Chains A and B, each alone.
Chain A
Amino acid sequence: MLGVEAQKPPKGKWTTAPFDPRFPNQNQTRNCYQNFLDYHRCVKAMNRRGKSAQPCEYYFREYRSLCPISWVQRWNQQIQDGTFAGKI
Chain B
Amino acid sequence: MNHQTHAFHMVNPSPWPLTGALSALLITSGLTMWFHFNSMTLMLLGLLACIMTMYQWWRDIVREGTYQGHHTPTVQKGLRYGMVLFIISEVFFFAGFFWAFYHSSLAPTPELGGYWPPAGINPLNPTEVPLLNTAILLASGVSITWAHHSLMEGHRKHVIQSLLTTIILGIYFTLLQASEYFEAPFTISDGIYGSTFFVATGFHGLHVIIGSTFLTVCLIRQLLFHFTSKHHFGFEAAAWYWHFVDVVWLFLYVSIYWWGS
Contact = CB atoms under 8 A, between A and B. Distances in A.
A81 to B, nearest CB: 14
Contacts of A75: 110
A39 B114 CA distance: 15
Interface in B102-117: 107, 109-115
- Residue with the greatest number of chain B CB neighbours at <10 A, chosen from A34, A75, A86: A86
Interface string A55-82: 0000000000000000100010000000
Interface residues of A, number: 10
Contact of B115 (A29, A71, A87): A87
Interface in A23-66: 29-30, 33-34, 37
Main secondary structure of the interface of A (DSSP, over half): helix
Nearest to B115: A87
B211 interface: no
Given A29-B109, A71-B110, 7 more contacts: A29-B110, A30-B114, A85-B113, A85-B118, A85-B120, A86-B113, A87-B115
B206 interface: no
B119 interface: yes
B96 to A, nearest CB: 23
Contacts of B112: 85
Nearest to A37: B114
Interface string B81-117: 0000000000000000000000000010111111100
Q: Which 9 A-B residue pairings sit nearest by Cβ, starting from the closest?
A: A85-B113, A85-B119, A33-B110, A86-B113, A86-B114, A33-B114, A85-B112, A85-B111, A87-B113
Nearest to A29: B110
A34 B108 CA distance: 12
A69 to B, nearest CB: 15
- Residue with the greatest number of chain A CB neighbours at <10 A, chosen from B110, B113, B115, B120: B110
A71 B114 CA distance: 14
B161 to A, nearest CB: 53
Contacts of B109: 29
A87 B120 CA distance: 11
Nearest to A86: B113
A75 B110 CA distance: 10
Contacts of A34: 114
Nearest to B111: A85
A26 to B, nearest CB: 14
Nearest to B107: A30
A1 B118 CA distance: 53
B259 to A, nearest CB: 20
A33 B118 CA distance: 15
A20 to B, nearest CB: 15
A13 to B, nearest CB: 30
Contacts of A85: 110-114, 118-120
Contacts of A71: 110
B89 to A, nearest CB: 34
B181 to A, nearest CB: 25
B190 to A, nearest CB: 13
B125 to A, nearest CB: 21
- Residue with the greatest number of chain B CB neighbours at <10 A, chosen from A30, A34, A71, A85: A85
Contacts of A86: 110, 113-114, 119
